[in-house]
C-alpha cells in the first residue's frame, strides 16, 4: 500500500450533514494562520514563553494541525469549559471543568477555539486568563458566526466566517458526534 489512506466514506446523501468547508480549504487556511502566528510571535523579543491553550474538546483537531505550522517553541495546555444550555443554544453561563496544568503569569497565551458563536465562552475565557497576569492573551478561532454575536470579542486569528448554521466536523460536534469528520459540514436535519 502506498500514499494516503482513503478518506472514510462520509458525506453520503444519507448523512445528516452536508459539506460547508472542505479538507483542502481548511488545510490551506490553517497553514496561513500558523505562518502568521510564527511571524507575529517570532518578532517578539521579550523571551517570554508562548502557550497554545486549547479549549476542550472542540479545538483539538484544529489545534493539532495548527501547532505543526507554528515554527517556534510553544507549549500546549488545555482548558475544559462547560456552558449551560441545550445542544444548540448557549445560555451564556460558563464554568471551568478542567483547569490549566501550569501558571501562565508572564507568558504569551494564544487561546485556540473551534467557533465563536454568541461570544460568551471566549469573553469569559479571555477575562479569566487576564486575571492570571499573562504577558498577553490573543484569540485564535477556526470559525466565527457573526450573525449570532451577543458579545463582541476581537478574534486575532480567524479561519472562516460562516453563516448562521449549526456545523459539525473537524472537532465540532452535535451531541458528541461527528467530531472526526475531516471537513466542516452543516447539519441538514436539525
Ligand atoms: P458561544 O459561547 O455561544 O460563543 O459558543 C461557543 C461554544 O458553543 C463553542 O465552543 C462550541 O462548543 C459550541 N458551538 C457553537 N456553535 C456551534 C456549532 O455550530 N457547532 C458545534 N458547536 C457549536
Residue 117 is among the residues annotated as catalytic for this protein = yes
Contact 80, 56 (CB under 8 A): yes
Report which ligand 1 atom has the smallest distance to the Cα of 118.
3
For ligand 1, say whether the CB of 120 is within 6 Å of any of its atoms: yes
d(CA 131, CA 126): 9
pTM of the complete model? 0.93
CATH fold label, 20-187: Rossmann fold (3.40.50)
d(CA 74, CA 16): 38
All cell numbers assigned to 84: 449551560
**What φ, ψ does residue 80 adopt, rounded to 5°?**
-100, 135
| 3-class SS of residue 24 | helix
Residue 65 Cβ inside 6 Å of ligand 1? The answer reads no
Residue 100 CB contacts under 8 Å (≥ 6 apart), including other chains: 53, 77, 78, 79
Protein residue closest via CA to atom 20 of ligand 1 = 167
Dist. CA 117 → ligand 1 center (Å): 5
Q: Evaluate: CB of 143 within 6 angstroms of ligand 1.
A: no
5 alpha carbon – ligand 1 mean position (Å): 31
Contacts of 144-147 with C-beta under 8 Å, sequence gap 24+, read 144/115, 144/116, 145/115, 145/116, 145/117
pLDDT of residue 172: 97
- β-bridge partners, 95: 82
pLDDT tens sequence for the chain (190 residues): 556 767 678 888 888 999 999 999 999 999 999 999 999 999 999 999 999 999 999 999 999 999 999 999 999 999 999 876 655 566 678 899 999 999 999 999 999 999 999 999 999 999 999 999 999 999 999 999 999 999 999 999 999 999 999 999 999 999 999 999 999 999 997 5
Cα separation, 75 vs 100, in Å, equals 12
CA gap 188, 135 in Å, rounded: 43
Q: Is 144 in the pocket of ligand 1 (CB under 6 A)?
A: no
Question: What's the CA gap between 69 and 160, in Å, rounded?
Answer: 17
CA–CA separation, 86 vs 91, rounded Å?
8
Half-sphere exposure of 95 (CA within 13 A, CB side): 5
Please tell me the distance between residue 46's alpha carbon and the centre of ligand 1 in angstroms: 34
Q: How far is the CA of 96 from the centre of ligand 1 (A)?
A: 15
Q: What is residue 169's DSSP assignment?
A: B
Amino acid at each position: 500500500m502506498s500514499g494516503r489512506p482513503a478518506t472514510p466514506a462520509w458525506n453520503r446523501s444519507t448523512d445528516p450533514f452536508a459539506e460547508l468547508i472542505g479538507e483542502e480549504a481548511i488545510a490551506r487556511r490553517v497553514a496561513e494562520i500558523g505562518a502568521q502566528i510564527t511571524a507575529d510571535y517570532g518578532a517578539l523579543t521579550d523571551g517570554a514563553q508562548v502557550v497554545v491553550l486549547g479549549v476542550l474538546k472542540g479545538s483539538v483537531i484544529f489545534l493539532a494541525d495548527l501547532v505543526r505550522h507554528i515554527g517556534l517553541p510553544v507549549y500546549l495546555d488545555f482548558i475544559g469549559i462547560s456552558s449551560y444550555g441545550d445542544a444548540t443554544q448557549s445560555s451564556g453561563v460558563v464554568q471551568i471543568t478542567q483547569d490549566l496544568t501550569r501558571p501562565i503569569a508572564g507568558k504569551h497565551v494564544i487561546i485556540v477555539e473551534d467557533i465563536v458563536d454568541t461570544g460568551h465562552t471566549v469573553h469569559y475565557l479571555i477575562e479569566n486568563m487576564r486575571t492570571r497576569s499573562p504577558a498577553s492573551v490573543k484569540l485564535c478561532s477556526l470559525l466565527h458566526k457573526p450573525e449570532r454575536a451577543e458579545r463582541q470579542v476581537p478574534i486575532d486569528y480567524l479561519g472562516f466566517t460562516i453563516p448562521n448554521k449549526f456545523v459539525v466536523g473537524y472537532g465540532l460536534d452535535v451531541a458528541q458526534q461527528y467530531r472526526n469528520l475531516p471537513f466542516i459540514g452543516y447539519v441538514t436535519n436539525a
